[in-house]
Amino acid sequence: MSPTAPQAVDLVIEARWVVPVEPHAVVLEQHAVAIQAGRIVALLPIARARTAYAPRERVELPGHALIPGLINAHAHNPMTLLRGLADDLPLMVWLQQHIWPAEAKVMGPEFVRDGAELAVAEMLRGGTTCTNENYFFPDVLGATYRKLGFRAVVGLPVIEFPTAWAKTQDEYFERAGEVHDSFIGDPLIGTAFAPHAPYTVSDESFARIRVLSDQLDIPVHLHTHETAQEIDEEKRKSGLRPFQRLQKLGLVNDRLIAVHMTHVTDGEIAACAEAGVSVVHCPESNLKLASGFCPAEKFRRAGVNLAIGTDGCASNNDLDMFGEMRTAAQLAKAVAQDAAAFDAAYALRAATLHGARAMGLDAQVGSIETGKQADLAAVRLGDLESQPLFHIVSQLVYATGRHQVSDVWIAGRRQLADRVLTGIDTDAVLARTRAWRERIASA
């Protein structure tokens, strides 16, 4: 009897270590990932892969860890063009006196497109393969991400004042429906409602969002309890904390993506766990704006799905998910006064699978499992800054920089090859970015 012929596949990636995230905290040594038509068809030892599969392309990563692509669960990516514009200011002063006026002067499709492309270039070079986008002109954003082969859920903005995107409440909802319909069935682009925050969205708009979210089966991506000030103002206005108001309106459910949650009670944490709410922790933005401390370890212990996001470059000032993981873990320990809190394996899970779960994508991405999309990042660990290697996951979270990301794939397509972007003209991106700098500075 003749042996079985090797199965033809598009790609086999061989790595010194594979960190699949699911199962939790597992590190597989000398393993390979076989990929066909953008999906993972096998995860197995390298020796077995070489006899079982005949790839059209083989990538060998003898000194690397292969991880799921990182998922930035909350970002305003066009704001890369506002990086460093108004630093060292509290949130409301920063937002109302600097960012909103600057946006009003330059907001438009070209600003959004160019800012998003700069953001994608930065994210890919940092191992991020998916973003939960919250900005205006979602039609342009979705088209830009699709053109670049980048995975995203684009927010459908709702706010109670006119912007360059929409002028009236009805127009916000009409345009939201049009954008949602345009991306139905897209393999890379999904949608979510993105009401700005309880203090900028009316009960009427929230009621419409709740009904439409149910009908369309899409998430609601919302800044929630970011500062003590907004909570105090809501209590003066309605007698309720913002979270209580959301509960009253029926929005506290398993479609809610509550971003920031820096000022919460134990009862609100329990309510999030019971309702299946996802929380997105943006530690560096919260620290920089002095917004407060998300009690991340309390959320973890309660069983809440906790993801990680960078927020926008105007308040962070980068899209570095490796830095965000490290800050999230370290800050959680300090807030909980427990060095064992929010361990490295959990931080990596929060930056991958939990982000996917929040966005409704966990059946597709977020871990290295058979049947999932091949969204992957290779991290070089052979440099002296990474030596010695005792615990791979700890090294990834506590000692790795985004400059160590060598290669990135999205749906099996190589987007970064040995630190070189394969589908983005970096010189053109830099030229457009410099032009925007001059325009914004002189506005």
pLDDT in tens, 354-409: 999 999 999 999 999 999 999 999 999 999 999 999 999 999 999 999 999 999 99
One-character DSSP codes across 177-242 = HHHHHHTTT-SSEEEEEEE--GGGS-HHHHHHHHHHHHHHT--EEEEES--HHHHHHHHHHHSS-H
| For range 424-434, the mean pLDDT | 98
Question: Rounded to whole angstroms, how far apart are CA atoms 170 and 175?
Answer: 9
Is 149 in contact with 423 (CB distance < 8 Å)? yes
The residue written with tokens 């995860």 in the block is 43
**pLDDT confidence of 442, banded at 50, 70, 90?**
confident
pLDDT at 244 over 80: yes
Report which of 441, 401, 442, 443 is spatially closest to residue 83, judged by C-alpha positions. Answer: 441
Residue with tokens 């009960």: 203
What fold characterizes domain 7-68+373-411? Answer: Urease, subunit C; domain 1 (2.30.40)
- Rounded Cα distance between 244 and 255, Å, is 17
pLDDT of amino acid 227: 94
Return the structure tokens found at 16: 């010194």
Three-state DSSP class for 360?
A: coil
Q: What is the model's pTM?
A: 0.97
Q: How far apart are CA 180 and CA 158, in angstroms?
A: 14
Cα 326–327–330 angle (5° rounding)? Answer: 85
Whether 2 has a pLDDT exceeding 70, the answer reads: no
Q: How far apart are CA 135 and CA 141, in angstroms?
A: 8
Tally of residues, the chain: 443
Q: Would you state the torsion angle of the CA atoms of residues 408, 411, 414, 416, taken in this order, to the nearest 10 degrees?
A: -30
* Percent of the chain with pLDDT strictly greater than 70: 99
Sequence-distant (≥ 6) Cβ neighbours of residue 381 within 8 angstroms: 16, 17, 63, 64, 65, 389, 392, 395, 400, 404
Question: CA-based Rg of the chain, rounded to a whole angstrom?
Answer: 21
Alpha-carbon distances of 439 from 84, 95, 261, 434, rounded to whole Å: 15, 20, 35, 9
Say which CATH topology domain 70-358 has.
TIM Barrel (3.20.20)
pLDDT number for residue 3: 67
Tell me whether the omega of the peptide bond preceding residue 23 falls within 30 degrees of 0, making it cis: yes
Are the CB atoms for 41 and 101 separated by under 8 Å? no
Q: What is the pLDDT of residues 276-307, one digit of tens each?
A: 999 999 999 999 999 999 999 999 999 999 99
pLDDT of residue 216: 97
Torsion angles phi and psi, residue 60, rounded to 5: -105, 125
Domain with CATH 3.20.20.140 in the chain: 70-358
Q: Give the Cα separation of 138 and 191 in Å (integer).
A: 9
Q: CATH 2.30.40.10 region(s) of the chain? A: 7-68+373-411
- Per-residue b or e along 229-263, where b marks 16 or more CB atoms closer than 10 Å to that residue's CB: ebbeebeeeeeebbbbbbbebebbeebbbbbbbbb
What mean pLDDT is reported for the chain? 97
If we measure between CA atoms, which residue out of 207, 219, 110, 107 comes closest to residue 154? 219
Q: DSSP 3-state assignment of 417?
A: strand
CA distance 396 to 66: 11
- Please write the tens of the pLDDT for every residue from 65-121: 999 999 999 999 999 999 999 999 888 898 889 998 999 999 999 999 999 999 999
Answer yes or no: are the C-beta atoms of 195 and 257 closer than 8 Å: no
Q: How far apart are the C-alpha atoms of 105 and 155, rounded to whole Å?
A: 22
112-159 per-position pLDDT tens digit: 999 999 999 999 999 999 999 999 999 999 999 999 999 999 999 999
State the pLDDT at residue 153. 99
- List, in sequence order, every residue forming a beta bridge with 40; answer none if it has no partner: 35
Q: Does residue 411 register a pLDDT over 60?
A: yes
